[in-house]
Amino acid sequence: MDEPLLDRGRRATKVSALVDDIGSPLHLLFHPGNKSDCRTLDHLFAKSSRHIALAGHHLLADKGYDTQRCRDIVTSFGMTNGILRRKTRTP
C-alpha cells in the first residue's frame, strides 16, 4: 500500500467546499494537504460545474486564493470575484 502524502512531516487533508448563500454544502472535494489553493479551486469548479451552474454566481474566498491565477479561474467559470486581498506593505 502506498504511503499517504506528507505535508511538513504530517498526514494532512485539505477539504474544498462549494456552498450556497446560506452555507449549505453543494460539493465537497478532498485533496492532499500540500496541494495549492489554486489547483484545488480549479478542480472543485471543474467537478462542480458538471452538476451545478456556476456562471453568474459570486465567489467569496479567503486571502489564500489571492493570486491572479485564482482570479482568472473564477472569471473563466463566469463567476464574479470576491477573493479577499492580502495586505501589502507600503514603504
Which of 2, 8, 29, 33 shows the shortest CA–CA distance to 18? 29
Per-residue pLDDT of the chain (91 residues; tens, 9 = 90+): 455 555 566 778 889 999 998 999 999 999 988 888 888 999 999 999 999 999 999 999 988 899 999 999 999 999 999 999 988 744 5
For residues 43 and 38, what is the distance between their CA atoms, to the nearest angstrom?
Answer: 9
State the pTM of this model: 0.78
Which of 56, 52, 6 shows the shortest CA–CA distance to 28? 52
Q: How many degrees, rounded to 5, is the angle at CA 31 between CA 29 and CA 32?
A: 165
Say what the pLDDT of residue 89 is.
46
Element (H, E) at 37: helix 37-48
Phi, psi (deg, nearest 5) at residue 3: -75, 145
Say what the pLDDT of residue 11 is.
79
Say what the pLDDT of residue 9 is.
66
